[in-house]
Amino acid sequence: MTDQLPNLQALALFVAVVDEGGLGAGARRLGMYQPNASRMVAQLEAQAGKPLLDRSPRGARPTSAGLLYAAHARELLEAAEGFTGWLRHSRDDDTLELHVGASMTIAEHLMPAWLTELRRTSPRVRVDLRVLNSTQVLEEIRSGQLQLGFIETPHVPRWVHAYDLREDELVVVVAPHHPWALRQEPVGLEELAATPLVVREGGSGTRDAFEELAPSATSTPPVQELSSNAAVRVAVASGAGPAVLSMLAVRSLLETGQLHRVPLAGATLRRPLTAVWKGPRRLSGPAADLVAVATAPMRPTL
């Protein structure tokens, strides 16, 4: 068979099949019908001259040749993504547009300062920012709607590149008149997990991180489920119940006495704040500039 230039869509499918562990799952990840996916993989195997997948009722696993094939396919796909990014940015010599998604705590408490510094250091970059929860950020990274995302969940999928920016502390807060505000002993993690809490919606990085640290909390129904940090803070301050929130989101209310921090017995709740992206492993252009700003010490405010 005459050597042909590779079909990038077929290579992306094969990598998705390897990552997801099955032909159907890989096809769904790319929005492709399974019969078309089967034909594509068969064509790849014909070009390679050897089986690339071991198929079984439990899924499809790469052969040793398939693993090597997938590694080279990733390199080629990353190069293609890099070329596409260069082409996109080269269309406009004056303005570089960056589509970014940030989960709520990062968007509210860190992103404004990052964007101010980015505007100072890279004035040609225009950031289109979408405020979403962590799950939604990942979905839009996967679909290609976002070039860069900032998430708060510890559940980072394998199909994105990730870079931990910093650690964030989660704290337990209640209203000043809540019974926990008067107790002398710290609250244990098991007691906290068994207590109905005011929580963020499913898919929130704050909620995911707490449930990762205290898995038994998933079996306790929340007293309220709300879609923003601000709504959770209002509910807690009104006496609805305790909540677990980022220190970034409650620091000012703790300082003014509108909320009270409840100490935890023998536990510190921490989670990573993470930048995520697809394409080349090494960031370049405006995305690299923004991540550099996010990891640099902040300039003092005069």
| 195 lies in the same domain as 143 | no
Identity of the amino acid at 250: V
Residues 227 and 291 occupy one common structural domain: no
Residues 80 and 129 in one domain: no
What's the per-residue H, E or C state across 47-93? HHCCCCEEEECCEEEECHHHHHHHHHHHHHHHHHHHHHHHHHHHCCC
Regarding whether 43 and 99 lie in a shared domain, the answer is no
Local structure of residue 123 (DSSP, 8 states): T
Same domain for 124 and 56: no
User: Both 136 and 217 in a single domain?
Assistant: no
Does the residue 2 lie in any domain?
no
Count the residues in the chain: 302
- 161-174 and 260-262 strand pairing: antiparallel
Whole-angstrom distance between the N-terminal and C-terminal Cα of the chain? 69
Label the pairing between strands 53-56 and 59-62. antiparallel
pLDDT digits (tens, 9 = 90+) for 206-234: 999 999 989 999 999 999 999 899 999 99
Q: Which domain holds residue 124?
A: 92-164+273-295
282 with 156, same domain: the answer is yes
Per-residue pLDDT tens digits for 139-156: 999 999 999 999 999 999
Answer with the one of 72, 89, 106 that is the final residue of a domain. 89
Low-confidence ranges of the chain (pLDDT < 70): 1-3, 88-95, 298-302
- List pLDDT tens digits, range 229-260: 999 999 999 999 999 999 999 999 999 999 99
* pLDDT score, position 298: 57
Lookup: tokens for 205: 């990085």
Burial (CB < 10 A; 0-12, 13-18, 19+), residue 224, is: middle
Residue 135 domain-assigned (yes or no): yes
Q: Are residues 112 and 254 in the same domain?
A: no
